[in-house]
Amino acid sequence: MKFSDTNKITETCHNSKESVFDTGESKGIKYSINVETYDSMLLQNEVDSAITKFEAEIAKSKEFLDARTALAELRKKHLG
The 3-state DSSP class for residue 9 equals helix
Top-ranked range on mean pLDDT: pick from 20-29, 34-43, 58-67: 34-43
17: region left, alpha or beta (phi > 0 left; psi from -120 to 50 alpha): left
pLDDT of residue 33: 80
Q: Is the pLDDT reported for residue 70 higher than 70?
A: yes
| pTM score over 0.75 | no
